[in-house]
Amino acid sequence: MPESPAAPTPYEVLGVGASVSQNELRQAYRRLLRETHPDTGGSAARFNAVQLAWERVGDPRDRAAYDRGHGARVTSPGTDASGASGTRASRSRPEGSSLRARSYGHPGGHARLRYLDLIREWVGRGSAIPDPYDPALVRSAPREIRYTLAKALAEEATAGALVTLGIGYTIWNDVATGRPSGRGGSGAKIDHVVLGPAGLFAIHSEDWGSEVSLQKGEVVGAALGSDEEPMHTLGHDARTLARSLGVRFTGLAIVVPDESLVEPLMQVSRGRQSGAVLIRRSLLPQLLRNGLSGSERTSVDRVFELRTRLQNGIRFV
């Protein structure tokens, strides 16, 4: 698995800047070894993270290779989520395949544009950037910028999984909800709206670069701020979109990379988001085929009715 752009860099793990001397780096490593060692009351996970960080940049030659971006792979927008080249905003069933789901919109497109704006602003307006996806440049960027790129990649990966569902499914990507957004300035969105025999689903794709879980109905993790409420945000955006379209969502899901979630699926058991799930990406097609436990299948006539209503009403960011 390629490393997530949102994952903490070795320098961030060691609590130093990327420009520190090798001696300062070593001192930080030794201090953290003592602080995080399980025998002295530290966390085993944190202790292992410190050791891994040192393995990557502790040797001057390894550090120089890391700083040059060696070993990193960042997908450029020349390849879409299904593996086909190009950047068309809408891709229906790929030529030669009658088994793939209908897909509209540009998955990850909004986040890609946001990333490019942020990276150019960070480097300096007017400065030439030969390759905005250069691994060395990405690694040196602040976490907010790296997270935005990870978000784009996550949406593209989810879209790639969704199109395998088959012709009984329709997918709309980067769907505008019609309400203002605090991030990006162009309005809130649902990453993926999926319609099929199991119902209508609102899905957000995320990659925070570290492990997450579900606690008291909300997504929590080391990389999330105390004021971040991803599940609440998805629920609010889904209700806003549902009202504007005159529909009702069967289920809500936040999708993360498999390695970010210890349990395959975690479900909200109570509250306004009851039934919403936090799920590994590899299991998402299975959820959308089988539906949520206890939910009824949607009739073919109802699917056609909803598809027409959604196709006429959905707008993209």
DSSP codes joined into one string, 284-316: HHHHHHH-STTPPPPPHHHHHHHHHHHHHH--B
- With 0-12 / 13-18 / 19 or more C-beta atoms within 10 angstroms meaning exposed / middle / buried, residue 91 is buried
What pLDDT was estimated at residue 42?
Answer: 85
What pLDDT was estimated at residue 69?
Answer: 85
Q: The pTM is what?
A: 0.85
Task: Give the residue from 247, 233, 164 showing the smallest Cα distance to 203.
Answer: 233
Local structure of residue 265 (DSSP, 8 states): E
**Which residues make Cβ contacts (< 8 Å) with residue 302, sequence separation at least 6?**
none
What pLDDT was estimated at residue 85?
Answer: 33
The phi-psi region of residue 186 (left if phi > 0; otherwise alpha if psi is between -120 and 50; otherwise beta) is: alpha
What pLDDT was estimated at residue 190?
Answer: 97
Cα–Cα distance list, 178 to 43, 44, 128, 146 (Å): 44, 45, 35, 27
CA 157 to chain centre: 9
Alpha carbons within 13 A on the beta-carbon side of 154:
29
What pLDDT was estimated at residue 77?
Answer: 59
What pLDDT was estimated at residue 93?
Answer: 40
Task: Give the residue from 191, 165, 119 showing the smallest Cα distance to 286.
Answer: 165
Domains of the chain, CATH where assigned: 10-67 (1.10.287.110), 102-313 (no CATH)
Output the tens digit of pLDDT for each of the chain's 317 residues: 568 999 999 999 999 999 999 999 999 999 999 999 988 888 888 899 999 999 999 999 999 999 988 866 665 654 444 333 333 334 444 444 457 999 999 999 999 999 999 999 999 877 889 999 999 999 999 999 999 999 999 999 999 999 999 999 999 999 999 866 654 445 699 999 999 999 999 999 999 999 999 999 999 999 999 899 999 999 999 999 999 999 999 999 999 999 999 999 999 998 889 999 999 999 999 999 999 876 677 788 889 999 999 999 999 99
Local structure of residue 281 (DSSP, 8 states): G
What pLDDT was estimated at residue 39?
Answer: 85
Quote the CA–CA distance of 281 and 266 in Å, as a whole number.
13
What pLDDT was estimated at residue 98?
Answer: 52
